[in-house]
Amino acid sequence: MFKKNTLHFKLNLFILSIIFLIVTIGFIIAINIFFSIYEDDVTHNISTGVSQFKEIVIDHHKTQLLSFTEGLVDPSTHLLSQKDAISEQDVQKYIVYANNTGVEFVQLSSAGTVLYQTLACEQRVLDMASQKSDPNNTEPTLWVDGSAETGLHLFCRYPIIDANKKTIGSILVGQPIANQDIVEYIKSTTSLDATIFAGNKRIATTIMKNDVNQVGTTLDGSIAATVLDQGDEYYGKAKILGEPYMVAYVPVLNSDQQPVGALFLGKSMLSIYTMRNHIVISLSILGVLLFIVFYGFSNRWLKNNVTAPIRWVADAMKTISANEYAIIENMPKAKNEEIDILQTTMQTMVAKLVAGQKKLETAAYIDAITGLPNRVFLYEKYNSNPLIKNQDALSVVYYLDVDNLKYINNLFGHRIGDGLLIQMGTVLKGLIKEWPEYEVYRISGDEFAICKEGYYDRDAVTNLSKLILSVFEKAFTVYDQSVSASVSIGISYNDSCNGTRCEVCTEKCKDDLEMLLKKAELAMNRVKMNGKNNFMIFDPSMNEAIQRKASLQQDLKLAMKNEELELYYQPKFDLELNRYDGMEALIRWNHPVRGFIPPFEFIKIAEESNLIVELGNWILEKSCRFIMEYNQVHHSDYCVSVNVSTIQLLNEDFEKSVLNILEATGLNPDYLELEITETVFMHSMDIAYEKLNFFREKHINIALDDFGTGYSSLTYLKSLPITTVKLDKSFVDDIAYNDISFEVVDNVIQIARSIGLTIVVEGVETKEQLQILKSLRCHKIQGYYFSKPVSDLELPLVLDQYE
């Protein structure tokens, strides 16, 4: 037996305790990691599957029901016009042969009178649909409604419009959207339990308890409060009928955005939790057995491998206590295996620590995405070694910015954007690999820097810039996706005065790193302003531009305060009515000192300084008040269009501001049109779409301005809540002799007309352009041919020409 006060016993007990603790903790961590991974995988499957579930239950049914209803329009139109038995039979035949979607009822009405009706459900379902729909709506409407008593139903109200675009009746159709087949399908494809709730009652479910399907049971109260009362989604853990589940609940909303039911996906965790408990108990027993077995083995091992080396260490410590420190620096060769192992282990640990320290330093200086040196490394390299004292000092800085990287990220995702940056970094490194005096850095999200040391040749600098631009003319292939990207390049040189400003040149007039980067960035920004995809060398005049910008910002604040700004109006001419029908409000600034300042210049300053919200509200209020008073005085019905900045539209108070202005000026919303550009959808598609929908519900018109100049897509024309498309002037300039421009204009006009949008063509300046647009059946034009923008005093003279 060991004496308890000996080092051997204490070390033996300590090591065994540590080993047991490590093993126990390791088992617990491993188990928890495994089950955490499993739970994360289940959660991911549920989150992924719930969108598929929602699409099958709601979106797929919407597509089917809308298709069925659209096919019903023609026979219904005949019935409304003929009102005979044959037309009614045609409607009935269509319903019988086309109803593969389980339609519950069809009701055809006109002027508040029901002309035809089939009913295969309870009357209260039809009553519920009738109460929540507007027969005067001119657009097809689909919505979901229901309750625990009636179940969930999808309804469609489809207007019937005659040749004169007049609503002569409507079709109301309904169908149930929940059945057992759907949840069984989801169960078979995802291995997840699925349930459809109407109210808080399960009306279709795969959940079984005691071999009994749980249809008719109700939702847990706490979850019902979240999902059905508050209308929020719920993801996480929950107990369902006594069993633990990983779950996802998504509310089903009616036309009033009130929850009327819910969709559920989940997986029972009972078996996996039971397994985990068994494993924990088994591993605990195994740990105790290992502790007992290992105790005897470790006792002998400690004596041979630990106690003796510690004695040597004790002797070494005695030597150190005698102030003989050389023993640390001159470690003698080990006399036994234990000391040799200890020395080898210590040497290995020290080597690993040193290597780890170097890795940490490397991580701080290397960009994680591209593997290039980062801004920290750049500053560390040149700030720690002053340029004026270094013969190989930094002499040239290229500042590269990837054009439209934000758009690429929004369009393709950040994975593609990061992949593009990696390839661009590789290309830039490849271009300079033969010149060791060059180095490439990634200094921010979409910005790179190329730095050169020592002597430079200006022609060589220019040639390298041209080479970079030419390389980026070709599209990159990133994860099988073709991506086009260009760069804007600013360049700065580190010139000394060569004695021209001082008797003896000390090179102290050279720029430091910060100034070189700032100058190169200024040059790059000038390239951006001039259209991107080019390079420019810094010029001192660029500082003047920055100063002018700051000065204009202050002047703009004073101009708004002193009411120096004024509005001009450019009329829009209706080709079909052969008269003016409205105008666009355009802001002008005649600076008392600088003279006329172009709108694009001070509007950009207003956007960058957040003055655009105040300025935009001023323009909107002035325009609405002017058109209201003008229409009253001249007994006219002109509409006014007001341009809206992206920043202004995305402001959280914008809707409230517009409504307050309409109320204050008394202008009917039908006489106001807000003009936006597609750039707003590159910033936040969801928010912009929601706001535009809000304005359309208030009968405010929406125009998509400058269509065709940016990333415009014909998809916008059918998916966005807009009323007007404004085709940019660039397509009209050469329409008389350029077949491509002619075809583009023709196609856009015809597509816009076919989906009920008004088309306005800007920049019409010649009679020949006018005649072509008339032949293409363009709705409205705007341009110098009829009138340039004029002040409110000149406007009546222009409008009177076509009264």
Report pLDDT digits (tens) over 597-621.
888 888 887 876 778 899 999 999 9
What whole-number distance in Å separates Cα of residue 213 and Cα of residue 227?
Answer: 23
Q: Which pLDDT score is estimated for 362? A: 66
Nearest-CA neighbor of 253 among 145, 179, 157? 145
CA-atom Rg of the chain in angstroms: 38
Confidence bin at 709 (pLDDT 50/70/90): low
Assigned CATH for 35-291: 3.30.450.20
Q: What does the buried/exposed string (b/e) look like for 30-44 if buried means 16 or more CB atoms within 10 Å of the residue's CB?
A: eeeeebeeeeeebbe
Mean pLDDT of the 242-266 span: 89
Of 111-115, 706-710, 713-717, give the lowest mean pLDDT range: 713-717
Q: Which pLDDT score is estimated for 432? A: 87
Mean pLDDT of the 151-166 span: 88
Q: Kindly state which CATH superfamily the domain 550-794 is placed in.
A: EAL domain (3.20.20.450)
Question: H helices then E strands: how many in the chain?
Answer: 25, 29
- Evaluate if residue 329 carries a pLDDT over 60: no
Q: Which pLDDT score is estimated for 299? A: 62
φ and ψ at 171, to 5 degrees?
A: -115, 130
User: What do you get for the CA distance between the two ends of the chain, in Å?
Assistant: 119
Q: Which pLDDT score is estimated for 249? A: 92
> Which one is predicted more confidently, 249 or 335?
249
Q: Where are the beta strands (DSSP E) in 575-645?
A: 579-591, 595-597, 639-643
φ and ψ at 693, to 5 degrees?
A: -60, -40
Q: Kindly state which CATH superfamily the domain 375-496+508-539 is placed in.
A: Reverse transcriptase/Diguanylate cyclase domain (3.30.70.270)
Q: Where are the beta strands (DSSP E) in 575-628?
A: 579-591, 595-597
- Evaluate if residue 716 carries a pLDDT over 80: no
Model confidence pLDDT, tens digit, residues 89-130: 888 888 888 876 689 899 998 888 888 888 888 888 888 888
CA angle (734 as vertex; 733, 740 as ends), nearest 5:
125
What whole-number distance in Å separates Cα of residue 495 and Cα of residue 480?
Answer: 45
Model confidence pLDDT, tens digit, residues 722-746: 999 998 888 888 898 888 889 888 9
Helix (H) / strand (E) containing 531: none
Are the beta carbons of 569 and 563 closer than 8 angstroms?
Answer: no
Q: Which residues pair with 153 in a beta bridge?
A: 145, 176
Helix (H) / strand (E) containing 154: strand 151-161
Mean pLDDT of the 332-357 span: 51
Kindly report the average pLDDT of the chain as a whole number.
Answer: 82
Are the beta carbons of 643 and 672 closer than 8 angstroms?
Answer: no
What's the whole-model pTM score? 0.43
Same fold, 35-291 and 375-496+508-539: no
- Evaluate if residue 323 carries a pLDDT over 60: no
Structure token digits, residue 119: 């009913």
What whole-number distance in Å separates Cα of residue 571 and Cα of residue 584?
Answer: 6
Mean pLDDT of the 371-389 span: 74
Confidence bin at 346 (pLDDT 50/70/90): very low
Q: Which pLDDT score is estimated for 498? A: 46
Q: Which pLDDT score is estimated for 349? A: 47
Amino acid found at 190: T
Question: From edge to edge, which strands make up the β-sheet containing 105-110?
Answer: 113-119, 105-110, 167-176, 151-161, 141-147
- Evaluate if residue 354 carries a pLDDT over 60: no
Domain spans of the chain, in order of start? 35-291, 375-496+508-539, 550-794
Helix, strand or coil for residue 395? strand
Structure token digits, residue 603: 């509007």
Residue 499 Rama label (left phi>0; alpha psi -120 to 50; beta): left
- Evaluate if residue 477 carries a pLDDT over 70: yes
Q: Which pLDDT score is estimated for 422? A: 92
Confidence bin at 388 (pLDDT 50/70/90): very low
Confidence bin at 344 (pLDDT 50/70/90): low
Q: Which pLDDT score is estimated for 713? A: 58
Amino acid found at 344: T
Question: From edge to edge, which strands make up the β-sheet containing 535-537?
Answer: 438-444, 447-453, 394-402, 487-493, 535-537
